[in-house]
Amino acid sequence: MIISKVMAQLLTGLVFLSDISRYSIAAGTLSPIQPLRDGQTLVSAKETFALGFFSPGRSKNRYVGIWYNKQPGDQTTTVVWVANRSSPLSSTNGSLELNGNGTLTINSMIFLPMPMVALTNPVAQLLDDGNFVIREANSSEFAWQSFDYPTDTLLSGMKLGWDLRTGLNRNLTSWRSKEDPSPGSYVLSFDLEGLPQITVWSGSTKKYRSRLWADVKFDDRQDMRRRYGLRFSFHNNKDEVYYMYNTTGTELVIRVILDQSGMFKKFVWIESTSMWNIFLNYPMNKCQEYSRCGPFGVCNINDWAICRCLQGFKPKSPQERPLMDASSGCDRLTALDCKNRSDGFMTVTLAALPETSNAIVYTNINQDECRARCFKNCSCTAYAAVNNIRNINGGGLGCVIWVTELIDLRMSPHPTENVFVRLAAADLASISNKSSKKSQTKSVVLIIILSMAALIIPLIYFYSWGKKKMIHKDIRGNGEFELAQLQWSTLMVATHNFATTSILGKGGFGLVYKGKLAEGHEIAVKRLSRKSTQGIDEFENEVTFIAKLQHRNLVRLLGYCIKGDEKILVYEYMPNGSLDAFLFGKEKGDHLDWQTRFHIIEGIARGLLYLHQDSRLRIIHRDLKASNILLDIEMNPKISDFGLARNFGDCETMIKTRKVVGTYGYMAPEYTLDGVFSMKSDVFSFGVLILEIISGQRNRILLSNPHLYLLGKAWSLWNEGKVLDLLDPLIGNSFSVTRVMRCINIGLLCVQEKPEDRPSIASVVVMLSNDDAPLPEPKEPGFKAIFSTKHDAVSNQNDLHTFNDITLTEQTGR
């Protein structure tokens, strides 16, 4: 009987194997007489978490860790805590023991600080929140807990921050790699200097910070709070300063990690897909990188220049390209004159207060007192009154005074923090004069407009006038973003009068030219073709969507120009051009090694995730293809060309249209044949892109030559067990076989014939970022059946193919 029980427990892997006759303690509990040996696991009462020995990835080192117990596949897929991360074992003879005095050891070695007071009857227990605790057997108070010593993961109920009584600093430290949990390059911790703020460091370099002292929700996902009851809290008193989130009593399973690249990520477990889904990825844009624009420089992700100087300041290094890179910051136009007390203050409204680690914080004083203290201090450069500051005395009203340069200034569409910047009298007067002139100009313009109104009202019924007016309204206002309006003469000079030698490419919209502005900033100029039947619609569509979308993997729209019939959009210039030139232009193909290709795949997936889920709009791109993926100087991919994009309402899952537009080879079957498109249509296009990136072959749907169909070829090789034959020979031998096969698997999942079989892009991002998560077997790709049933019946006329009433022609890219 005992032997059969042991065999059953071996199969489940949920209880100890040693000395089974004495194993009578509660589930998830370890006592001094029962060590936990390698191969055994300690499981929490509700079987939520497990503790035991593991080896990450292909590593042969052994670690003691905690992981989620109920996930499918490998139990150690998601490790949340590691005890001996700096001192792994080299063999599988490890043993975790609780000594009689209440200390934990691994092979008789202590790896973490243990309770200061010896216990008399200790027990160690793994709780259902993932906390591993030590306590007296008859007590509910913890003498020690793993939550006080986080690794790279923050769980619900875990504190991130300081215990000021003991000096304990609970911070996150990234893994060195996915196969090495030893402390990596990045540390996320509370900076207590000035106002408490969460900061990520790489060595002694600050990478980014969050103003958590004033905004306890930590991100903008208010819907998570309302819908699921997710709770965030921030505590700042004389004993502790910490941040914590809590999902107790909710249906959510959330974990927060600091990954190997220094990214701070929040994951939520989606039960329906049995996968982790990223719902926060920080920093989300370049302005969230620390001090992107240097001292007294303001970063605005919605401004095509990104970096600008505060009024009263000038670029410190004019030789830098100030529009996109002004890391050295700005200098004052006029020196301060504290001695004669002639200085004043300019109000600047920002997304967050500047860096406060070198600021002076006063409590229980109002704004007038704050201003007076700054004015008396000749070192003061700015001040801010803070109404919701929490301090050690419990007060809510406070004052921040900066006595150094202002660092890390950021703008947003909805700025909330007023900062009063000290300026010399001459600069204040200059700003005042400019404002006065602007006011006068507005008044004059208003009078003229009112006077002319009676004259122009009859003309508004003419279509051409109304159309142009609408275009200007959409572009200039564009809801919430102001785009730069560039002069026609400026663009003529920049492109050498739109010379043929400046042409970068050609698309359905028209020609794209390379240009250079007077200050040396390079741009891409997209000129509407007068012969394009869809040009105006595409032009308006591009402006409507892309000006409102800001993501590192989307191309940036910088400005526009309208002159007569000329309609032009201006973008950031991508030095490496489009992806199709690298994939299908063999002179560039050898530059794409496997790491670069995988980096591009990941980047496109993240850009698409933003469009489908994370942006304010829900956008279906509808024309995702290699020629619409642009590459910057670091080979980061940028999704471009939103001329065919559509906005989905919150309740919409699919749309049917009679006007099917796009590029064959990338269009999903349901869209091509029935005019039905959805997010899964974009997923299909992305799957095609994955297979093209891996193979270096274009997906040509030529009914006269169906063997050239890339998806069919990939499907055949997959079934024959020869899928590596799909790999582009130009990649060489430096690649991970496992990762290549995994990517092909993901690509085939994305191009399955039925939309409901395809994964969401959120699931795809998780699949790409987690090499250990199991993948389902793909089903037959779309269009494969079409070839077998329709090939003989369709004529070949210059590879022009008609399905139902939809005409598709081959496009060679831009």
Among 476, 474, 548, 558, smallest CA distance to 515 is for 558
> 623 catalytic, yes or no?
yes
Phi-psi sector, 531: left (phi>0), alpha (psi -120 to 50), beta:
alpha
Q: How far apart are CA 744 and CA 717, in angstroms?
A: 11
**29: Cα within 13 Å, side-chain hemisphere:** 13
Q: Which of 427, 474, 623, 728 is catalytic?
A: 623
CB atoms within 10 A of CB 349: 12
Lookup: tokens for 711: 């998806």
Q: How far apart are CA 711 and CA 145, in angstroms?
A: 52
Q: How far apart are CA 77 and CA 97, in angstroms?
A: 24
Q: Are 209 and 355 in contact (CB under 8 A)?
A: yes
Q: Are 16 and 36 in contact (CB under 8 A)?
A: yes
Lookup: tokens for 148: 């006080």
Lookup: tokens for 221: 């996902």
Q: Are 159 and 167 in contact (CB under 8 A)?
A: no
Q: How far apart are CA 275 and CA 278, in angstroms?
A: 10
Lookup: tokens for 517: 């502005």
The DSSP result for 304-352, as a single string, is TT-EEEPTTEEES-TTS-TTT--TT-EEESS---TTTT--EEEEEEESS
Q: Are 185 and 262 in contact (CB under 8 A)?
A: yes
Supply the DSSP symbol for 731: G
Say which amino acid occupies 701: I
Q: How far apart are CA 551 and CA 608, in angstroms?
A: 10
Three-state DSSP class for residue 638: strand
Which residues lie closer than 8 Å to 679 by C-beta, 6 or more apart?
612, 618, 620, 648, 760, 761
Q: How far apart are CA 619 and CA 761, in angstroms?
A: 13
Q: How far apart are CA 764 and CA 514, in angstroms?
A: 34
**383: Cα within 13 Å, side-chain hemisphere:** 25
Q: How far apart are CA 625 and CA 182, in angstroms?
A: 40
The DSSP result for 495-533, as a single string, is TTTT-GGGEEEE-SSEEEEEEE-TTS-EEEEEEE-TT-T
Percentage helix, strand, coil for the chain under 3-state DSSP, each rounded to 5: 30, 30, 45
Lookup: tokens for 192: 């207590």
H or E stretch covering 200 = strand 197-202
Which residues lie closer than 8 Å to 586 by C-beta, 6 or more apart?
730
Which residues lie closer than 8 Å to 370 by C-beta, 6 or more apart?
362, 383, 384, 385, 399, 400, 401
Q: How far is CA 548 from the centre of its chain?
A: 16
H or E stretch covering 463 = helix 463-476
Helices and strands (H, E) in the chain, number of each type? 16, 47
Supply the DSSP symbol for 48: -
Among 327, 315, 301, 333, smallest CA distance to 519 is for 315
Among 188, 185, 182, smallest CA distance to 169 is for 188
Among 187, 356, 160, 166, smallest CA distance to 241 is for 160
- By annotation, the residues acting in catalysis are 623
